[in-house]
Amino acid sequence: MTSSLPEKTVSTRKLNIIKTVDKVGLVISLLTIICAVVWAFPLYWAIITSLKPESQVVEPGFAPWPRTFTLDAYTAVLFNTKIGLWYFNSIAIALLTTVIVVLMSACCGYAISQLKFPGRKVLWFVILASFMVPIQALIVNHYILAAQFKLINTWAGIIMPSLIAPMSTMIYKQFFDGVPKEFREAAIMDNTNEFRMLFRIFLPMNWGVTTALAIITFIGAWNSFLWPFLAVTKEEAMTVAVGITQVNDAFGVAYARELASAVMTGLPVAIVYLIFQRRVTQAIMLSAGVKG
């Protein structure tokens, strides 16, 4: 009898712990659902409002569902603005920025990781230091330089400040450091030059990293607003993120049109995220310093 009591006590404690864990899990799940609803509601409201007639948008009261669905706001944005040109500018600028950033970061990361040259450590410390400087602190200097070199209202003026990407260089160096030295030694014995070594050996072994960085760089370039807003004053050179600020009405603010243009701006990024969700998650983990 005495030996069975402790066993019953232990089992009772285990049951209590399991019940407590279940309750905590339920509370966490409810809090997660509430946070998700709070986060998603503005997005839902923007989409629903963009599908309402303007007369219903300005009506007093709260209407979570439109009485009449219409695409007038999207039609007005498509045919009364230069959104097609803004899309073209955004796609071209984002692609060029992505290609240049990935190539520069890969070459720089490879040089710091695998090559021995004077000033290597100094360059590495400069890259680390630049990572700690917020890009917003350099806006004034960027604008002065862009104005002096006559790069205002040009693609080059928008792209060049976006090429400062120390995080990508750091990530490439981290992964290139992990490549076994035997691969490099074998390539040297075959008289392979450094560029072929980078593009034939090191990059193919890290295609997942390259893909993840390319996707996150493209999304960042597409969503960039502050610098393109300052560097561009002509509608013909605007990106879509800046161009939607020009969507207005002669008789006042057209909320449905404004939100329709915002939805159309975020739609390509949402599609890219849904298609490459795993790679985007991997890129976020890499940016946090964790190998995915």
Q: What is the mean pLDDT of the chain?
A: 83
Q: What is the pLDDT of residue 255?
A: 81
> How many C-beta atoms lie closer than 10 Å to residue 96's C-beta?
17
Rounded mean pLDDT of 86-114? 93
- H or E segment at 253? none
Q: What is the pLDDT of residue 291?
A: 42
Q: Has domain 76-287 been given CATH number 1.10.3720.10?
A: yes
Instruction: Say if pTM beats, i.e. exceeds, 0.85.
Output: no
Q: What is the pLDDT of residue 99?
A: 95
Q: What is the pLDDT of residue 252?
A: 58
Residue pLDDT, tens place only, 181-201: 888 888 888 888 888 888 888
Q: What is the pLDDT of residue 277?
A: 74
Distance between CA 119 and CA 109 in Å, rounded?
Answer: 14
Residue pLDDT, tens place only, 56-92: 887 777 777 888 888 888 888 888 888 889 999 999 9
Does 180 or 23 have the greater pLDDT score? 180
- Is pLDDT above 70 for 2? no
Please say whether the dihedral angle defined by the alpha carbons of residues 145, 149, 153 and 157, taken in this order, is positive or negative. negative
Please say whether the dihedral angle defined by the alpha carbons of residues 123, 124, 129 and 134, taken in this order, is positive or negative. positive
Q: What is the pLDDT of residue 97?
A: 95
Does 284 or 68 have the greater pLDDT score? 68
Q: Are 242 and 230 in contact (CB under 8 A)?
A: no
Distance between CA 243 and CA 254 in Å, rounded?
Answer: 15
Indicate the angle between helix axes 72-80 and 255-275, nearest 10 degrees: 90
Maximum mean pLDDT: which of 5-14, 96-105, 106-115: 96-105
Distance between CA 4 and CA 8 in Å, rounded?
Answer: 6
